[in-house]
């Protein structure tokens, strides 16, 4: 079944002739870009948009991957979109509209026929307001069209030897901030630093939800015992206070996708 879906993906890509891949460095867009790059006579480039709410480590990883695999890559810098400064409920829609308009303009200027993104088949069954923006702009989602799920993409990525096959799911930093909160650069950097601290300590997939000077740690249940019964609880508290948080809490509901504060993570 997986092989036939991969063949369908390749067939879709071959029909597109020349493409800009919206490349974030995550599991899906990396697999999509690598697959497109492997198709002969397909003109393809990965384009990454750098904004204040994209973690710097993610940017470095996009450059490293494309360099290692000899894939054409470009980075576009844009300022913080003021339309989402107050983190409105339709933030994801507005953000996607802004970013993909930029990618469409890049494609037109540089002679690429299509812009594609890494949305997969699982995304069609959850709350993803950004998909509406993509549809309005005519952005294709070949992984979704081919019916490939996240699990299948990870499996195919592993077979292809891609370093991202087991990379934790990520969402933009804005999803860590409650709706209606004015976005400040300081808060973005605090969340970014805190989450990478947790990742480096062996807690991948952990979210740091920020509420003023309070950090709400949202992580898988299997981390609870380790955090609460070892000296790491004190170490985590000290590290997050050093970053700038005054209060640190562990959310006893654990990590959950589509958190009620964000609806997009």
Domains of the chain by start residue, with CATH? 2-159 (3.40.50.620), 173-250 (3.30.70)
User: Which helix (DSSP H) or strand (DSSP E) does residue 22 occupy?
Assistant: strand 18-22
Buried b (16+ CB within 10 A) or exposed e, 129-165: bbbebbeeeebbbbbbbbebbeebbbebbeeeebebb
Phi, psi torsion values for 22, nearest 5 degrees = -70, 105
Q: How far apart are CA 235 and CA 224, in angstroms?
A: 14
Print pLDDT tens along the chain (265 aa). 455 899 999 999 999 999 999 999 999 999 999 999 999 999 999 999 999 998 888 899 999 999 999 999 999 999 999 999 999 999 999 999 999 999 999 999 999 999 999 999 988 766 677 888 999 999 999 999 999 999 999 999 999 999 999 998 877 899 999 999 999 999 999 999 999 999 999 999 899 999 999 999 999 999 999 999 888 999 999 999 999 999 999 999 998 765 444 443 3
- Please state the pTM of the whole predicted model: 0.89
Sign of the Cα pseudo-torsion (8, 11, 12, 18, in order) = positive
């Amino acid at each position: 079944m997986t092989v036939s879906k991969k063949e369908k993906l390749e067939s879709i890509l071959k029909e597109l002739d020349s493409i800009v891949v919206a490349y974030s460095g995550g599991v899906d867009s990396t697999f999509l870009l690598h697959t497109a790059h492997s198709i002969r006579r397909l003109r393809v480039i990965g384009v990454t948009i750098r904004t204040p709410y994209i973690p710097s480590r993610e940017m470095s990883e996009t450059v490293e991957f494309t360099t290692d695999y000899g894939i054409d890559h470009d980075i576009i810098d844009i300022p913080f979109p003021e339309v989402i400064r107050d983190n409105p409920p339709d933030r994801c829609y507005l953000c996607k509209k802004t970013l993909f308009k930029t990618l469409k303009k890049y494609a037109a200027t540089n002679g690429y026929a299509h812009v594609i993104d890494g949305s997969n088949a699982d995304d069609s069954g959850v709350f993803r307001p950004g998909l509406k923006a993509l549809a309005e702009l005519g952005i294709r989602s070949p992984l979704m069209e081919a019916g490939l799920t996240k699990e299948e993409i990870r499996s195919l990525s592993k077979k292809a030897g891609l370093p991202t096959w087991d990379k934790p799911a990520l969402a933009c930093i804005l999803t860590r901030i409650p709706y209606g909160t004015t976005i400040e650069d300081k808060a973005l950097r605090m969340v970014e630093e805190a989450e990478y601290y947790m990742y480096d300590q062996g807690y991948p997939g952990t979210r740091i939800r920020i509420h003023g000077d309070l950090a709400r740690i949202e992580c898988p249940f299997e981390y609870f015992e380790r955090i609460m019964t070892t000296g790491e609880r004190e170490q985590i508290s000290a590290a997050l206070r050093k970053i700038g948080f005054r209060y640190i809490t562990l959310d006893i509901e654990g990590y959950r996708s589509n958190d009620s504060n964000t609806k997009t993570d």
